[in-house]
Structure 1
Amino acid sequence: MGIHDIIEGKKQWRAHTARVKALPPDYRIVYKEMQKYVFKVGAVDLPEGNLLAGIIDFFEEGVAAGKGALEVVGDDIAAFCDDLVHSAQRT
């Protein structure tokens, strides 16, 4: 990994965190819990792209639809993450 790759990775991460910060508070809280869970199980990058970026896309759609975070993911965040990781691994 060269210096260019490191710089590009940092730019992408900053853009990612800016998207998280733009979410409403309830979504940010749920996202942080999901991020911890995904980091713990080691499923950050799956074959079909970045799981965390997909979560933000999904959350932005929920915000646009006027739904709260728990309306989108349900009450059991860990179970939602498990289902998400398992379905992403199958693709």
Structure 2
Amino acid sequence: MSILEFTSKLIGEKRRWRDYKARVRKLPANYRAAVEAFERYLMYFGSEDADSVCSMFEDLADLFEQSAADGTPIRDIVGEEPVEFIEAFLRNYPEGQWRYRERDRLTDAIDRVAGDDEA
């Protein structure tokens, strides 16, 4: 990747992040607080891929913007278990997540060695 391509990608993702943050700031206070709480969680457990991260946060903003516009209560969006909600949401963005790569690596390793046991 050339320096121009890298810089262009970096600037584009930074712009997407700023746009996302501006959208969140426009949400009603309780919706904004919910999104910010999910954002903190996703920063620890989300993807490492910048494009995937941007898409994930944009989709989260879409969900809460639409829900706020429709007057949908937050509990109707996330249910009684917010961790289950955000984990299900996160599973839609497996690209770049170290947990999924490690799970795949573990499964592949066991599949390889288990094949030897069956012989």
1:87 shift after superposition:
4.2
Contact 2:79/2:85 (CA < 8 Å) preserved in 1? yes
For the residues of structure 2 that align with 1:83 and 1:3, how far apart are their CA atoms?
A: 33
Bigger Rg, which one:
2
Q: Which runs of 5+ in 2 are unaligned?
A: 95-119
For the residues of structure 2 that align with 1:43 and 1:10, how far apart are their CA atoms?
A: 16
For the residues of structure 2 that align with 1:16 and 1:56, how far apart are their CA atoms?
A: 7
For the residues of structure 1 that align with 2:7 and 2:55, how far apart are their CA atoms?
A: 21
The equivalent position to 2:73 in structure 1, one of 68, 75, 81, is 68
Q: In the alignment, residue 69 of structure 1 is paired with which amino acid?
A: I
The question of 1:28 aligning with 2:37 is answered no
Q: In the alignment, residue 84 of structure 2 is paired with which amino acid?
A: A
Matched with 1:15 is 19
Contact 1:30/1:77 (CA < 8 Å) preserved in 2? no
The equivalent position to 1:79 in structure 2, one of 84, 94, 104, is 84
Matched with 1:37 is 41
Deviations 1:35-63 (A, max 9, x none): 1111111336586x711111111111111
Deviations 1:56-89 (A, max 9, x none): 1111111121112222112322111111122444
The question of 1:5 aligning with 2:9 is answered yes
| TM-score computed with the length of structure 1 as normaliser | 0.77
RMSD: 2.3
- The number of residue pairs the alignment matches comes to 88
Higher strand share: 1
Structure 1 runs of 4+ with >4 Å offset: 44-47
For the residues of structure 1 that align with 2:27 and 2:41, how far apart are their CA atoms?
A: 19
